[in-house]
RNA sequence: GAGGGAGUAGCCAAGCGGCCAACGGCGCGGGUCUUAAGAACCCGUCCCGUAGGGGUUCCGGGGUUCGAAUCCCCGCUCCCUCACCA
């Protein structure tokens, strides 16, 4: 059941959206100097905004608005990551063109964003599927190519036998139970074709790659300096790059030397078998004239994971380069072609996986490394050679099967470093030293660094992407299209039952070689869409530039993006590719910045009933509905108030309603204040009634403690909320703003208010709320007769330099103490509550003690005046512990003022008389009980 | 298995060396307002206590420190990423 809206959000929102547009508030001039660059990851235009988008953009919008109010020039742009497979699918399904479908979706989503009130500079909108944008993908591709960073080479890709086409990884559907998560890059996925269900094979085809591996070290090492990035993202990137330092070494075989990579060269003497990947070159040679063996190898499943260590003995042997021993060569399932060299030395004594294989195939297990303490215990010559060496060598610890310094490698592999045994001349060396020594001594051995990161395969055999600007000439080979001929535009879309539609467009394919003019055919592959998103944040700097992808000078000034907000799912791909692009562009002299994103925030998910919202599960709350029912501000306020940006939270109807109710109240309060101001002007009738009990203060409206209290709280709220906005703690900032509104409500309800105090409070609250609920804030601002737009107003600054925190704490603690006393003492009907601030000398003593070096009593008693206090001073000094000393303290005057201002709260709560006094004006005994931060309290019963 | 993160009162969730018995929200209890309900607002919500006190807490166990939810070590549990990675 819906109750009627006390405010017409639809009218208010569209009114202010129009006003913002008219006033061009979000326009970012090109001549700005180092503006605040606040960015949300741009969306794929799927057709509808979902809650995740709304949360994402609300976060950046609120921060951008806050920054703008702080006087910053703010770049908060939006664009569309609009190439990609779904559009192609949708076009086929709906018998339309991917471009039309995409542009329709963009229109819908732009409209939704505008209705959400996101303050975006639409003049800078970019759409990656437009030639104006993707021509620069092509241009950049050429620059990469010139720098030797784009190359064509054989790559493993997914191939569907039935469709006779290459499939992008996304076009490979996972088998039972597996989610077809995105995994770009190399092929090898085990799955089925998305169109026909045929199991996907792997083929090696010539494809275009960007050589990101050239930047592996740089990208990895620079992660340490990304201080504004979350640890998990940094960890994922490190992991993904996967640098591993070790060594290569060759084993001789009847088919020539075969290289292996190992991180544990020190275990070389323990190598008792040799293993090849099923599709290793040497495997093919061995198998070539042995059909039985070939069949056995064929039977191995290279995609098998986990259980069992299947393998086939080839009958061949390899020569251990260190010992000259002959060891059996196996073809093993667990050896992967694309890891290391596709071949490995098996050391069952010191590698768990090898151990398992050896046990299954009855291979000798030999110990060649012992825990350091075991060797020392034997009195063996441990040699003490700790020259250190290769990165990543760990201290010998007792992991991996060591037990009391003794290990039995027949039981389990001992995988830790230690001291060499059974290793001839290397016995007694530490693992690390042995690794270095072996590399020195063996001709075929060399230090080697390996990466998990592979070059980035950007070729995609589909229509809806950036055409790779290459022409294949029978004579000249692949030739790049000259810059003047860019962009290579996509031809009309012709749906084809299978394969890449581009191949079917003769007018596109048939062309001339730019070099020799001979008939040639155009490359029909398009680029991975991650190319588009690897530099889009640069395009926003000069979105209409026609002679460069972006203005170098301006980009160098504006970048990096100050705050980048998006989902964790882009932790590796997008964010790594973008970092790669930036570094290349920097090296090419097109940019003077190396890292794209200064501070990165991964927003949490929006849940419904503890589950991720998803269309397939049907548990989706559509922004469209919320927009209609409650309005944009309600949705924004709820999302921002319920949790910090990184925390996931549950969408609840209740929460939404309470946010909506708050906005209604706020609006009523503003309207009430405005009408009161007009009516009651001059009507200063004394309603002294409610002020008669005031002990401190004159009772004149505007000069009463309560007026001062409200004024002070207004400043305190500003101070706190500002710190919260700075720290991206929007939930806390909103709490401050909301509690200020609530205080103002009480202030108004309890009697005559000072109009200036009240209105300043209200205006301030509106300003604090404006970044999150911009429409209602504008409406209130307008009602109150504010100057211009709040969106363009100055962020409030607290007047004075008050210790707001300390004051609030003092007041709160004192109030709690009063309640506590009343409760514990069982006083039901207090008549007077007397609050006495500690005497000056105690404050002075505290000050001296905190300045002194530990000896509080000494420091205090050294002061002649305090010494005169005798016993009392000594006692007090003794009671000062370190935590008390380290705290922030108010002066006696400040304490007195803060408590006086807040006295009305106590008075109201307990319906009693309250007296706040200075020590000098109070009973001596009572004053004696007071300490700084802790006034004495005496309660008199009726 | 490797790397990252986390375990805080009924629940969610801050805090990350002293101001912490520990913010805030939900739930629950009391109160104000109201014809009533709801909303809103105020108070309470580990135990004991007739004056602001005391006791026992922040996964478990050790340690560092005058002082630890906060730092270090060990263990347990959970989440995420990568993974038969040589």
Q: Which domains does chain A have, with CATH numbers?
A: 154-208+456-528 (no CATH), 244-366+424-450 (3.90.740.10), 649-792 (1.10.730.10), 804-849+889-941 (3.30.2320.20)
Report how far apart, in Å, the C-alpha atoms of A518 and of each of A467, A481, A509, A523 are.
21, 14, 14, 15
Rounded Cα–Cα distance for residues A355 and A364 (Å): 10
CA diameter of chain A: 112
Please indicate whether residue A254 or residue A613 has the higher confidence score (pLDDT): A254
Residues 6+ apart with CB under 8 A from A845: A860, A863, A866, A873, A876, A877, A880
Residue that wins the pLDDT comparison between A176 and A136? A136
* DSSP conformational letter for A307: S
User: A606 pLDDT band (50/70/90 cuts)?
Assistant: very high
Residue A380 has pLDDT above 50, yes or no: no
A82-111 pLDDT tens trace: 999 889 888 888 889 999 999 999 999 999
Nearest residue to B39 via alpha carbon and C1' = A661
- The sign one gets for the Cα dihedral A161, A165, A166, A171 is negative
Tokens of residue A427, six digits: 């016995």
Taking residues A453-465, report their average pLDDT. 90
Cα separation, A757 vs A118, whole angstroms: 32
The per-residue pLDDT for range A619-665, each reduced to its tens digit, is 889 999 999 999 999 999 999 999 999 999 999 988 999 999 999 99
Q: What is the pLDDT of residue A848?
A: 86
Q: Which two tokens stand for residue A318?
A: 């390899």
Residue A239 has what pLDDT?
Answer: 92
Is the CB of residue A595 less than 8 Å from the CB of residue A580?
Answer: no
- Predicted confidence at residue A722, as pLDDT, reads 94
First and final C-alpha spacing in chain A: 51
pLDDT at A305: 60
DSSP string, A841-902: HHHHHHHHHHHSSS-HHHHHHTSHHHHTTTHHHHHHHHT--HHHHHS----HHHHHHHHHHH
What residue has its CA nearest to the C1' of B49? Answer: A824
Q: Which nucleotide is nearest to A332 (CA to C1')?
A: B84
For residue A474, pLDDT over 50 is answered with: yes
- List CB contacts of A446: < 8 A, sequence separation 6 or more: A247, A248, A249, A439
Q: What is the Cα–Cα distance from A121 to A32, expressed in whole angstroms?
A: 14
- Of A56-70, A279-293, A614-628, A879-893, the least confident: A879-893
Contacts of A62 (CB under 8 A, 6+ apart): A636, A640, A730, A771, A772
- Number of other residues whose CB lies within 10 A of the CB of residue A81: 20
- C1'-nearest nucleotide to the CA of A814: B52
Closest residue by Cα to the C1' atom of nucleotide B4?
A: A232
pLDDT digits (tens, 9 = 90+) for A761-790: 999 999 999 999 999 999 999 999 989 999
Contacts of A786 (CB under 8 A, 6+ apart): A763, A766, A793
* pLDDT digits 0-9 by tens, A711-748: 999 999 999 999 999 999 999 999 999 999 999 988 88
CA to C1' distance (Å), from A823 to B25: 26
Residue nearest to nucleotide B12 (CA to C1'): A649
C-alpha A211/C-alpha A927 separation (Å) is 77
Question: What does the alpha-carbon distance between residue A797 and residue A376 come to, in Å, rounded to a whole number?
Answer: 69
Determine whether A928 is exposed, middle or buried from the number of CB atoms within 10 Å of its CB (0-12, 13-18, 19+): middle
The secondary element (H helix, E strand) that includes residue A372 is helix A372-377
Q: Of all residues in chain A, what percent are helix, strand and coil, respectively (each to 5)?
A: 45, 15, 40
Angle made by CA atoms A504, A506, A510, in degrees to the nearest 5: 130
Q: Which pLDDT score is estimated for A874?
A: 86
CA of A657 to C1' of B23 (A): 24
- Residue A302's pLDDT is what? 66
DSSP 3-state of A935: coil
Which pLDDT tens digit goes with each residue over A388-445?
Answer: 333 333 333 334 444 445 678 888 888 888 899 999 999 999 999 999 999 999 999 9
Phi/psi of residue A909, nearest 5 degrees: -65, -40
Confidence of residue A559 (pLDDT cuts 50, 70, 90): very high
Q: Closest residue by Cα to the C1' atom of nucleotide B2?
A: A239
Peptide bond before residue A560 is cis, with ω within 30 degrees of 0: yes
Tell me what pLDDT residue A674 has: 79
Q: Are A834 and A932 in contact (CB under 8 A)?
A: no
Radius of gyration of chain A from its Cα atoms, rounded to whole angstroms? 37
- If you measure CA to C1', which residue is closest to nucleotide B25? A642
Q: Give the model's pLDDT for residue A306.
A: 60
A585-617: b (≥16 Cβ within 10 Å) or e: beeeebbebbbbbbbbbbbbbbbbeeeebeeee
- Please check whether residue A134 is in contact with residue A128, taking contact to mean a CB–CB distance below 8 angstroms: yes
A477-514 core/surface letters (b: 16 or more CB in 10 A; e: else): eebbbeeeebbbebbebeeeeebbbbbebeebbebebb
Which carries the bigger pLDDT value, residue A380 or residue A389? A380
Please report, rounded to whole angstroms, the spatial distance between the CA atom of protein residue A238 and the C1' atom of nucleotide B62. 33
Examine the pLDDT at A487 and tell me if it is beyond 90.
yes
A174 falls in which pLDDT band (50, 70, 90)?
A: low
Task: Give residue A732's pLDDT.
Answer: 94
Say what the ipTM of the complex is. Answer: 0.95
pLDDT value of residue A386: 36
Q: Is A525 helix (H, G, I), strand (E, B) or coil?
A: coil
DSSP β-bridge partners for residue A151 = A209
pLDDT beyond 70 at A188: no
Give the closest residue to A574 by CA, choosing from A228, A37, A210, A184.
A184
Query: Which nucleotide's C1' is closest to A746 (Cα)?
Result: B41
Task: Give the nucleotide at minimum CA-to-C1' distance from A307.
Answer: B84
Please enumerate in sequence order all residues whose Cβ is within 8 A of that of A700, keeping only pairs 6 or more positions apart, or say none. none
- Flag whether pLDDT at A510 surpasses 80: yes
Task: Give the 3-state DSSP-derived string for A207-218, with helices as H, strands as E and coil as C.
Answer: EEEECHHHHHHH
Nearest nt to the CA of A236 via C1' is B81
d(CA A251, CA A268): 11
| pLDDT for residue A598 | 95
pLDDT tens string A308-333: 788 999 999 999 999 999 999 999 99
Q: How far is the CA of A907 from the C1' of B32 (A)?
A: 15
- Structure confidence at residue A485 as a pLDDT band (50, 70, 90): very high
Q: Where are the beta strands (DSSP E) in A458-556?
A: 459-460, 470-473, 477-480, 510-512, 519-522, 526-527
CB A395 within 8 A of CB A417: yes
Q: In this structure, what are the phi and psi dihedrals at residue A864, rounded to the nearest 5 degrees?
A: -55, -45
What pLDDT does A878 receive? 82
Q: What is the share, in percent, of chain A residues with pLDDT greater than 90?
A: 66
- On whether the CB atoms of residues A450 and A246 are closer than 8 A, the answer is yes
Average pLDDT, chain A: 87
Contact between A714 and A764 (Cβ < 8 Å): yes
pTM: 0.91
Q: Structure tokens of A212?
A: 């990101």
The band of A927, judged by pLDDT with boundaries at 50, 70 and 90, is very high
A73: which 2 tokens? 């020039």
pLDDT band at residue A173 using 50, 70 and 90 as cut-offs: low
Taking the C1' atom of every nucleotide in all shown strands and the CA of A743, the nearest one is B41
| Strand B nucleotides in reach of protein CB atoms, 7 A cut-off | 2-5, 12-14, 18-19, 23-24, 26-27, 39-44, 49-53, 66-67, 80-82, 84-86
């Amino acid at each position: 059941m819906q109750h009627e809206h006390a405010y017409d959000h639809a009218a208010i929102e569209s009114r202010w959206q129009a006003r913002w547009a008219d006033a061009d508030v979000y326009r970012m001039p090109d001549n700005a100097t180092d503006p605040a660059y606040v960015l949300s990851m741009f969306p794929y235009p799927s057709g509808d905004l979902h809650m995740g988008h709304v949360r994402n953009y609300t976060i950046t919008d609120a921060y951008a608005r806050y920054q703008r109010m702080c006087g910053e020039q703010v770049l908060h742009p939006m664009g569309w990551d609009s190439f990609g497979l779904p559009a192609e699918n949708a076009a086929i399904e709906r018998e339309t063109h991917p471009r039309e479908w995409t542009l329709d979706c963009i229109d819908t989503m732009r409209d939704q964003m505008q209705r959400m009130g996101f303050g975006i500079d639409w003049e800078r909108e970019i759409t990656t599927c437009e030639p104006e944008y993707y021509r620069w993908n092509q241009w950049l591709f050429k620059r990469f190519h010139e720098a030797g960073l784009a190359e064509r080479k054989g790559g493993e890709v997914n191939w569907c036998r039935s469709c006779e086409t290459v499939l992008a990884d996304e076009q490979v559907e996972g088998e039972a139970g597996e989610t077809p998560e995105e995994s770009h890059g190399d092929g090898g996925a085990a799955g089925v074709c998305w169109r026909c269900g045929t199991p996907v094979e792997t083929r090696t085809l010539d494809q275009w790659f960007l050589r990101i591996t050239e930047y592996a070290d740089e990208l990895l090492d620079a992660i340490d300096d990304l201080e504004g990035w979350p640890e998990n993202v940094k960890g994922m990137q490190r992991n993904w790059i996967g640098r591993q330092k070790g060594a290569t070494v060759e084993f001789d075989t009847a088919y020539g030397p075969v290289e292996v990579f190992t991180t544990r060269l020190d275990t070389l003497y323990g190598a008792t078998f040799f293993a090849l990947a099923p599709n290793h070159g040497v495997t093919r040679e061995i198998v070539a004239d042995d059909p039985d063996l070939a069949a056995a190898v064929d039977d191995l499943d290279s995609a098998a994971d986990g259980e069992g260590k299947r393998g086939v003995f080839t009958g061949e042997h390899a020569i251990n380069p260190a010992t000259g021993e002959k060891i059996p060569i196996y073809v093993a399932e667990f050896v992967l072609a694309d890891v290391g060299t596709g071949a490995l030395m098996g050391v069952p004594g010191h590698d768990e996986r090898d151990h398992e294989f050896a046990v299954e195939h009855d291979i000798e297990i030999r110990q060649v490394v012992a825990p350091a303490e075991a060797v020392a215990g034997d009195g063996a010559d441990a040699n003490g050679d700790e020259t250190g060496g290769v990165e990543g060598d760990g201290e010998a610890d007792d992991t991996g099967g060591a037990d009391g310094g003794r290990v039995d490698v027949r039981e389990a592999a001992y995988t830790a470093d230690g001291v060499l045994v059974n290793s001839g001349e290397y016995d007694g060396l530490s693992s690390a030293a042995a690794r270095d020594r072996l590399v020195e001594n063996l001709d075929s051995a060399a230090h080697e660094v390996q990466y998990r990161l592979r070059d980035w395969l950007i070729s995609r055999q589909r229509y809806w992407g950036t055409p790779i600007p290459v022409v294949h000439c029978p004579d000249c080979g692949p030739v790049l299209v000259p810059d003047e001929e860019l962009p290579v535009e996509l031809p009309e879309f012709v749906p084809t039952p299978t394969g890449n539609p581009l191949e079917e467009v003769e007018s596109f394919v048939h062309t001339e070689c730019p070099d020799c003019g001979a008939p040639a055919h155009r490359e029909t592959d398009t680029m991975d869409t991650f190319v588009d998103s690897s530099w889009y944040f640069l395009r926003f700097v000069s979105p209409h530039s026609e002679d460069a992808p972006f203005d170098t000078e301006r980009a160098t000034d504006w970048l990096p993006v100050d705050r980048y907000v998006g989902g964790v799912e882009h932790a590796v791909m997008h964010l790594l590719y973008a970092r790669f692009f930036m570094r290349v562009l920097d090296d090419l002299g097109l940019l003077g910045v190396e890292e794209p994103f200064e501070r990165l925030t991964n927003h949490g998910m929006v849940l419904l009933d503890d589950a991720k919202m998803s269309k397939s599960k049907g548990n989706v709350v559509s922004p469209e509905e919320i927009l209609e029912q409650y309005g944009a501000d309600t949705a924004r306020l709820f999302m921002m108030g319920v949790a910090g940006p990184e925390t996931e939270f549950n969408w609840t109807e209740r929460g939404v309603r309470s946010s909506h109710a708050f906005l209604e109240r706020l609006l009523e309060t503003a309207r009430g204040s405005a009408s009161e101001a007009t009516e009651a002007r001059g009507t200063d009738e004394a309603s002294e009634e409610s002020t008669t009990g005031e002990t401190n203060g004159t009772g004149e409206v505007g000069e009463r403690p309560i007026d001062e209290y409200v004024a002070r709280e207004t400043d305190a709220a500003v101070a706190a909320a500002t710190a919260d906005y700075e720290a991206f703690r929007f939930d806390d900032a909103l709490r401050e703003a909301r509690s200020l509104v609530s205080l103002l409500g009480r202030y108004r309800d309890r009697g005559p208010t000072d109009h200036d105090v009240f209105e300043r409070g209200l205006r301030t609250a509106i300003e604090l709320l404006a970044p999150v609920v911009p429409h209602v804030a504008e409406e209130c601002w307008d009602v109150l007769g504010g100057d211009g737009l709040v969106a363009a107003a100055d962020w409030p600054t607290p007047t004075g330099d008050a210790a707001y925190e300390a004051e609030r704490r003092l007041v709160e603690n004192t109030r709690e103490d009063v309640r506590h006393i009343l409760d514990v003492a069982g006083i039901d009907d207090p008549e007077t509550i007397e609050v006495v601030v500690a005497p000056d000398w105690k404050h002075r003593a505290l000050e001296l003690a905190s300045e002194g070096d530990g000896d509080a009593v000494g420091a205090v008693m050294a002061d002649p005046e305090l010494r005169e206090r005798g016993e009392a001073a000594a006692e007090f000094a003794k009671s000062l512990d370190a935590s008390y000393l380290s705290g922030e303290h108010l002066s006696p005057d400040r304490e007195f003022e803060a408590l006086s201002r807040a006295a009305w709260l106590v008075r109201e709560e307990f319906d009693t008389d309250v007296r706040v006094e200075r020590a000098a004006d109070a009973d001596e005994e009572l004053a004696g009980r007071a300490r700084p931060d802790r006034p004495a309290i005496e309660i008199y019963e009726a």
